[in-house]
Amino acid sequence: MVSRTTRGILVAAVLAWLPIAQLQAKELADYHIGDTVDADIVAPEKFILINEQATDTLRQREGQRLPMVARYYPGAAGEAESALRKSFINARNNFINVVETQFHKQLPDATVTDEFLQTVIDYPGLDKSFPLNLTLAGLWARGQSDEAFLNALASRVHGAMQQYILPAQVPDGWKTGAGARLVPLTNADVVPTPQLVEEKGFTVSRSNIVSFTRVRTDFRAGFDEEDHPWANYAVQFLKENCAPDLALTESVRTTRTAAIQMGDTYQAGQVVAKRGAVVNAKTLAAIQRVSELTAVKAAPAPQKPVVAAAPVAPVAPVAPVMPVSAAVVQPNNGLLWLALSAVALLAVIALVLVWRVRRRAAMSLLPVQLGLGEGVLGAPPAGTRHDFRELLAPHLARLLTNKLVRKLISQRADLMLMQQQVAKEIEDLERRLEQVHAPLQERLSAYEKRIMELEAQLAVQTEQNKELIKAKIEGVKQQMENARAKNRLKFN
């Protein structure tokens, strides 16, 4: 049967070993979806955790709001007018050639009659797509100028081509919406880039964009009824000057929305994953980000070669800003906690041994044999007290060591907590001053006012709170010096 002493030692050992099981948190990189968080995981610094799915959704939604892109060729108007003039001149030359070769009449001839001209017009050798009439044939046969007629017809074609004309059939997926973004090109065969669209593109409202079918209809409607043959002739020179480009539209939208990000912001010191929580996809991504930031901080800084620098004028030193400490529960301290737990276990064992020795000493008053070779009826043998002291001396030393370690750990935890509180309060004060864009004098006044308030509190607080308030005062003074130093640098 197990004795009370043995049971006490076992219970003490279990209690001492529990902190080890709790503090031996697994490595951050070892977490997977479905795991349970061993201990609170805290952000070492401010970071943004990007939500890829939400970011893609937002980018697509914002991209759909951007106008679609089409290539615009302004030179199409000049090409259409030039084609019309060339066709008109060819018709004139063909008419003169038929009169001279087929009818053997030398032109120009002022005596030519309308009957003769009508005979020439009906001649099968002329291009019937050209709407030649007696008026224009008389100008050509008699050697008169047709420049006014040609200019009027070319002007109509050029004016119609000044519009933004889309093809009659646009590609599937093309939606003009409120408008379109056009990128002008000097050559219709040039393949534009998203950068060119950003640099030279311009947005045109939907009301200013017309289809090729509508342009042809409106062009014919602008002629009188007797001039419809000329309208049908000139309309064939009209063409589109805008070409929808779905691939270019997608590229521009991708470039414009690349900077859009959707995610969660974690501040320094904020709990990323609480102890006992089940790891999901979002939590796992945050833990992995904390692991990366922790690894970067833990990595040693590269040693820079010492280079002799030329002497420079002395510059007023800038006081360093007190960093905000953010404790991150890391399993890298496992060996330290293991050592401390071992010390605690030894201390418990020492206490049990002391209790057991004292219990034996109290029972030695009973009328039994001490078993030390001397004395009966509870009479302690000589030198027994001295032997007990030698036996307990190592255990008492370990006990004192354990108390010292526990006191140091407690003081370290208090200092870390105090530093966090001081840094947070200073950061809040600085943020409030930045938000209101306070000038330097107002900031210094705010710092001095805060120092006076803390000194007033210091006079009435307990010893423990005095240390915290002193730390706050030092932090505010440090921040005030930083503000002064920044102002000196600006003036320098």
Q: Which residue is it, tokens 């990366």? A: 292
Return the pLDDT at 463: 58
DSSP readout, 347-396?
HHHHHHHHHHHHHHHHHTTSSS--SSSS--TT-PPTTHHHHHHHHHHHHH
Q: What is the mean pLDDT of residues 361-390?
A: 47
Residue 325 lies in a domain: no
Cα 34 to Cα 294, 393, 458: the distances in Å are 23, 51, 49
| Contact yes or no for 280/35 (Cβ under 8 A) | no
Residue 240 lies in a domain: yes
Residue 429 lies in a domain: yes
The vertex-356 CA angle with 351 and 357, nearest 5°, equals 100
DSSP secondary-structure letter at 46? -
Instruction: For residues 250 and 337, state if they share a domain.
Output: no
Residue 236 lies in a domain: yes
Residues 134-188 pLDDT 10s: 999 999 999 999 999 999 999 999 999 999 999 999 999 888 888 999 999 998 7
Cα 6 to Cα 2, 11, 284, 345: the distances in Å are 6, 9, 45, 14
Residues 389-438 pLDDT 10s: 666 777 777 777 777 767 777 777 777 777 777 777 777 777 776 665 55
Instruction: For residues 356 and 251, state if they share a domain.
Output: no
Structural domain boundaries, residue 474: 331-365+382-491
| Helical pair 114-121 and 76-102, crossing angle rounded to 10 deg | 110
Q: How many domains is the chain partitioned into structurally?
A: 2
Instruction: For residues 119 and 221, state if they share a domain.
Output: yes
Instruction: For residues 458 and 361, state if they share a domain.
Output: yes
Q: What is the mean pLDDT of residues 333-355?
A: 68
Residue 459 lies in a domain: yes
Return the pLDDT at 21: 44
Residue 66: pLDDT band with limits 50, 70, 90: very high
Residue 326 pLDDT more than 50?
no
Rounded to two decimals, the pTM is: 0.50
Residue 21 lies in a domain: no
